[in-house]
Structure 1
């Protein structure tokens, strides 16, 4: 089986699994309770949550492209569980440090954490599903200033509740002399690698959600009739549908190109991720706007699934770096290569490894 066929197979299998477990009632309960065990348990049992993490570390194996295929479908279903955090982020951070994944949901985040006398002190902001995680995987500054990967029990931390616009938990984690379960040396530039994976994960989620927004909007405008014809045939609505389709496809192409370029068990490149994150973040806003324009008041009702998806688009585009930050980094990376490298880099789609 080719790599491309494997990605398609993963995407189809995950889509079928999510269709059986992510329902409007489950999404409503998850937004209220902050956790969806009936979604997490079958996904985790099937190995979906650790695709992209080497089997030697306790993951399901597979490439970054396959991990992002999982996330596309999670985004399309608005799956309210930390699939990205458990696998592509925390899972690969542990694997790179030579550590084995603990069982259960994992998460990680960004902040300033230091190790002193074997204990951790610091704070992480907007950590996804911190209170629901079995363990937090934290990148900290060791006693010698070198980065270390530590595994922490959330029960030992002070967690301040918070949510993003979509109702997904994004919580502050305070570590005050917390003794970690495990500590291991991190790879050089582990923080940059984690940021790239975080941005790529959000780009893949956005690509999946944008695709589903397009499908929902096209179906609704094709069924809604005014003045004897479907509203999708009115020029103003048709313009919104075209813009929506263009942006959804651009987000998917950018995210998939960055994931495929990472290669088998490799890390996504700086240039590829910067492009994918900038394109997906911009597309998220444009897709949401076009969909709501095309559907009118119906788009903001609880009876229609559009709002569930667009609130996630608005939330995810600002996580792990917003459009401006990644567009700036993209420009700096291209400029650093010099004028002679600009066109060959763009025309061949070759990422600059960072």
Structure 2
């Protein structure tokens, strides 16, 4: 993977979404939960399956390229399970030797944690395998062709794939109006089961999920910065653009600082995730900590700079900031990841601190 490849992927996805994912498209999806025409455009180019091996139904590529796609998805608030289809559910399926289903696929954490209060179990029956339990806050479960989950069994941790039509789906949404459904499983037949290989477990899914949200936040923050700068330069008071007033300029500076910080952290974590072992813990923990903190600061600064206009439904800003507020908590917020990051650095000892910091910067 080269930097040029990643930039080409981002440019292609950005061009596609720029013309199709309008403010009206996002608003309509918040009412219906889904944008099938937009999904068809991305699927035609294979973008949701980047980083999934071709032999398992993906299109190949790297984690960095997949995160470049997610940056653009976040930038345009595209209401689609792109992260789940490839980087998360696609990765679990392919790693376990299962083919990645066609169409949108979704997943969510199933360990007892801050993200999911219930577990999923699977057991053999006379006719195959059956799953029980509950998966909470599953993105677009009602629209997915398959739900891929980690499930406990007497034989160990399993990767399971099931048809959501066979489960009871309790609709739900996050603050941004994106579907976050609860999937209730009561001895539901499972289409495919495979033992989770080394490196595929609850912690690895949480890590990849955190990376996906950091990339989405980086994209949304970049768009928030652009539209806020444009607005404050076009809006005039007392004969000059409001961007030239000291108080407004201070908000723009904070916006630029936080946007660049989360963008850099997310891209470093994605670039260092291209190894066989997957995303590196310290990189992702740092990226999600920075991203979750920046999400709130970016949203606050943008709304301060745009004033009442930024609060209206007619303005794009609200669609983006509601996503920032939602994504900052998914797969663990700032508190979770900063605590884990601090504990890991403390356990490694003082001599390992600088090499850990320098590794990410050099890579």
Structure-2-length-normalised TM-score: 0.94
Please state how far the C-alpha of 1:209 moved relative to its aligned partner.
0.2
Please state how far the C-alpha of 1:188 moved relative to its aligned partner.
2.9
2:251 matches 1:244? no
Tell me the distance in 2 between the aligned counterparts of 1:348 and 1:178: 46
Aligned to 2:70: 71
Tell me the distance in 2 between the aligned counterparts of 1:24 and 1:249: 24
Q: 1:14, 1:70 within 8 Å by CA — same for their partners in 2?
A: yes
Tell me the distance in 2 between the aligned counterparts of 1:33 and 1:301: 20
Q: 2:197 aligns with which of 187, 191, 210?
A: 187
2:177 matches 1:170? no
SS at structure 1 position matched to 2:272: helix
Q: 1:163, 1:169 within 8 Å by CA — same for their partners in 2?
A: yes
Aligned to 1:116: 123
Tell me the distance in 1 between the aligned counterparts of 2:312 and 2:19: 24
Moved >4 Å (runs of 4+): none
Aligned to 1:325: 336
Tell me the distance in 2 between the aligned counterparts of 1:132 and 1:9: 29
Aligned to 2:165: 155
SS at structure 2 position matched to 1:349: helix
Tell me the distance in 2 between the aligned counterparts of 1:130 and 1:208: 24
Aligned pairs, number: 349
Q: 1:64, 1:266 within 8 Å by CA — same for their partners in 2?
A: no
Q: 1:240 to 1:313 in 2, by over 3 A?
A: same
SS at structure 2 position matched to 1:262: coil
Aligned to 1:259: 270
Tell me the distance in 2 between the aligned counterparts of 1:349 and 1:31: 37
Following superposition of structure 1 onto structure 2, how do residues 213-228 of structure 1 map, counting pairs within 5 Å?
A: 213-228=224-239
Please state how far the C-alpha of 1:264 moved relative to its aligned partner.
5.3
Aligned to 1:47: 46
Q: 1:63, 1:264 within 8 Å by CA — same for their partners in 2?
A: no
Following superposition of structure 1 onto structure 2, how do residues 1-354 of structure 1 map, counting pairs within 5 Å?
A: 3-111=2-110, 112-117=119-124, 118-144=129-155, 146-189=156-199, 190-263=201-274, 266-349=277-360
Q: 1:114, 1:143 within 8 Å by CA — same for their partners in 2?
A: no
Tell me the distance in 1 between the aligned counterparts of 2:217 and 2:193: 33
Tell me the distance in 1 between the aligned counterparts of 2:290 and 2:158: 32
Q: Which segments of 5 or more consecutive residues in structure 1 lack a partner in the other structure?
A: none
Q: 1:52, 1:265 within 8 Å by CA — same for their partners in 2?
A: no
Q: 1:278, 1:327 within 8 Å by CA — same for their partners in 2?
A: yes
Q: Which segments of 5 or more consecutive residues in structure 2 lack a partner in the other structure?
A: 111-118
**What whole-Å deviation, never above 9, does each CA across 1:233-271 have from its counterpart, x for those lacking one?**
000000000000000000000000000011256510111
Q: CA RMSD in A?
A: 1.2
Tell me the distance in 2 between the aligned counterparts of 1:296 and 1:236: 12
Please state how far the C-alpha of 1:167 moved relative to its aligned partner.
0.3
Please state how far the C-alpha of 1:350 moved relative to its aligned partner.
7.6
Please state how far the C-alpha of 1:21 moved relative to its aligned partner.
1.3
**What whole-Å deviation, never above 9, does each CA across 1:44-94 have from its counterpart, x for those lacking one?**
111011111111111111000000000000000000010001010000110
Tell me the distance in 1 between the aligned counterparts of 2:87 and 2:359: 26
**What whole-Å deviation, never above 9, does each CA across 1:15-38 have from its counterpart, x for those lacking one?**
001112101221111000011001
Tell me the distance in 1 between the aligned counterparts of 2:161 and 2:203: 19
Q: 2:268, 2:361 within 8 Å by CA — same for their partners in 1?
A: no
SS at structure 2 position matched to 1:114: strand
SS at structure 1 position matched to 2:159: strand
Moved more, 339-348 or 22-31: 339-348
